[in-house]
């Protein structure tokens, strides 16, 4: 049921923070990679010594801006499930490592969407929020993507309104206090859910102005627009952890642009999503009486033509699976020329329609798991569709904290206060 859904990664990895032994080894490996690919930064030794000393003292270390940008770009380069990696070097990296409170996280997610949407000329972007550090847990974003549509049970008909993938998530945010629109629709944008150790779980409605959507129509069939379908312009994954050189950034939303099939052959077509193959086939007047008329396949093609046509007409960046497959082979060639392995997961790379028509079908790939990487932790994966489990214990209610006692603890405790659970 959770077959491939497009871009990056999902490797079950042990929960962070990693023990200090690991962070030292991972830091060294990463710094060697960075200096190896950037000869102008000089020999790795001085920086490595500095970082190891910092780890000894604090249990972690701070990336330079150059290291952060490189780490994020290489995490994309290493995303075995992503067909769109040709442009990995152009990823915009927004350094928001100072941001750890929920309100600013949400506001910067909105700013991410605005600047990544760029009026339709979508720019691949990552926003990196505060890292995990000893005694200072990082913020979490629960949502799978910054923009996702709610799913509701319709009490009268027993059918689902909206995206069935988010039925449980929607129910949970409503329990937490989210008020859906007065009339529930098929494309109601869910609120952002940000959790911090200090503030607990908080809900944030995205400003309408940063939610760019495309209304779907068909190049020939006028009735198609009457189906009232739409999709959001920017796919921004927000529940994966960016892992660079032993440092974890659990909140690091990133986006590219869509490949049409992600919407037309999965989001709108899967039986457990919008399930629109039947209705489209019916409007097309196809003979649905038996499988061998290939009515599903024919409806699928028209649905996907509508997606590409509509995004192009709205001047929102989108790519098709033929173009993107060719680009991916270019990427593989370039990586090989650079003397690197390029990990790829065949079952995710091959597009969900017309697989063998694309060149990526007809070969095998390296499957090594490389770092830096975007990681989908099992708990984060569950939170993204169900709203559970929480990342942190509920913060104590606003009763006065026992500050005097904490203050009398040693200086280290004061510098890095442990939030009262
Ligand atoms: N497949 C996901 C979706 O349909 C998006 C995954 C990321 N895709 C991308 N083109 N960067 O929303």
Q: pLDDT per position in the chain (421 positions), as tens?
A: 334 444 444 444 555 555 676 999 999 999 999 999 999 999 999 999 999 999 999 999 999 999 999 999 999 999 999 999 999 999 999 999 999 999 999 999 999 999 999 999 999 999 999 999 999 999 999 999 999 999 999 989 999 999 999 999 999 999 999 999 999 999 999 999 999 999 999 999 999 999 999 999 999 999 999 999 999 999 999 999 999 999 999 999 999 999 999 999 999 999 999 999 999 999 999 999 999 999 999 999 999 999 999 999 999 999 999 999 999 999 999 999 999 999 999 999 999 999 999 999 999 999 999 999 999 999 999 999 999 999 999 998 766 545 443 333 333 333 333 343 3
- C-alpha 274/C-alpha 269 separation (Å) is 6
pTM exceeds 0.85 for this model: yes
Q: Which long-range contacts (CB under 8 A, 24 or more apart) does 85-91 make?
A: 85/328, 85/331, 85/342, 86/327, 86/328, 86/330, 86/331, 86/334, 87/124, 87/256, 88/331, 90/124, 91/124, 91/125, 91/126, 91/254
**How long a stretch of residues is the chain?**
421
Q: Is the CB of 259 under 6 A from ligand 1?
A: yes
Enter the tokens of residue 268: 């709108």
**Partners of 149 in the beta sheet?**
189
CA distance linking residue 150 with residue 171, whole number of Å: 9
Burial tier of 283 (Cβ tally within 10 Å: 0-12, 13-18, 19+): middle
Instruction: Identify the DSSP state of 201.
Output: E
Ligand 1 site, residue 256, Cβ cutoff 6 A: yes
Can you spell out the DSSP letters for 38-104?
-GGG--SHHHHHHHHHHHHHHSS----HHHHHHHHHHHHHT-TT-S-GGGGGG-EEEE-TT--SHHH
Q: Which of 123, 144, 262 to mutate to test the pocket of ligand 1 (most atoms within 8 A of CB)?
A: 262
Mutate to test the pocket of ligand 1, among 4, 7, 189 (most ligand atoms within 8 A of CB): 7
Tokens 């499930």 correspond to 81
User: Coil, strand or helix: which one is 198?
Assistant: coil
Catalytic residue among 262, 302, 335, 373: 262
Q: Answer for the pair 234, 122: CB distance below 8 angstroms, yes or no.
A: yes
Of 268, 286, 267, 285, nearest in space to 277 by CA: 268
Q: Is the CB of 6 under 6 A from ligand 1?
A: yes
Query: Alpha-carbon distance 165 to 268, whole Å?
Result: 11
For residues 241 and 63, give the distance between their C-alpha atoms in angstroms, rounded to a whole number.
16
β 125-128/92-95 pair status: parallel
């Amino acid at each position: 049921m959770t077959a491939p859904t497009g871009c990056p990664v999902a490797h079950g990895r042990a929960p962070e923070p990693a023990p200090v032994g690991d962070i030292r080894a991972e830091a060294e490996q990463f710094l060697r990679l960075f200096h190896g690919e950037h000869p102008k930064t000089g020999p790795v030794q001085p920086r490595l010594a500095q970082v190891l000393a910092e780890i000894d003292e604090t249990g972690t270390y701070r990336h330079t801006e150059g290291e952060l940008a490189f780490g994020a770009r290489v995490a994309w380069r290493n995303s075995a499930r992503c067909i769109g990696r040709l442009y990995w070097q152009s990823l915009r990296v927004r350094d928001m490592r100072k941001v750890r409170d929920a309100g600013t996280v949400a506001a910067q997610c909105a700013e991410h969407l605005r600047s990544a949407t760029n009026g339709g000329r979508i720019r691949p972007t990552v926003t990196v929020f505060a890292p995990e550090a000893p005694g200072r847990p990082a913020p979490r974003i629960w949502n799978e993507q910054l923009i996702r549509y709610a799913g509701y049970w319709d009490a009268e008909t027993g059918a689902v309104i909206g995206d069935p993938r988010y039925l449980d998530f929607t129910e949970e945010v409503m329990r937490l206090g989210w008020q859906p629109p007065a009339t529930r629709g098929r494309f109601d944008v869910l609120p952002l859910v940000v959790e911090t150790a200090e503030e607990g779980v908080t809900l944030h409605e995205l400003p309408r102005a940063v939610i760019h959507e495309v209304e779907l129509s068909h190049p020939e069939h006028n009735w198609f627009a009457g189906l009232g379908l739409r999709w959001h312009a920017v796919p921004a994954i927000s529940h994966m952890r960016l892992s660079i050189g032993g440092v974890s950034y659990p909140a690091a939303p990133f986006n590219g642009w869509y490949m049409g099939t992600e919407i037309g052959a999965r989001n709108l077509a899967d039986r457990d999503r919008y399930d629109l193959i039947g209705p489209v086939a019916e409007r097309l007047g196809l003979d649905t009486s038996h499988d061998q008329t290939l009515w599903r396949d024919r409806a699928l093609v028209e649905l996907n033509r509508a997606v590409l046509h509509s995004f192009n007409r709205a001047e929102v960046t989108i790519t098709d699976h033929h173009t993107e497959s060719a680009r991916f082979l270019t990427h593989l060639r370039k990586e090989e020329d650079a003397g690197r392995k390029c990990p790829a997961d065949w079952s995710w790379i091959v597009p969900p329609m017309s697989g063998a028509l694309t060149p990526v079908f007809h070969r095998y790939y390296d499957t090594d798991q490389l770092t830096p990487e975007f990681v989908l932790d099992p708990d984060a994966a569950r939170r993204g569709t169900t709203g559970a489990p929480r990342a942190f214990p509920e913060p104590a209610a606003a009763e006065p904290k026992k500050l005097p006692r904490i203050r009398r603890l040693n200086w280290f405790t004061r510098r890095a206060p442990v939030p009262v659970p």
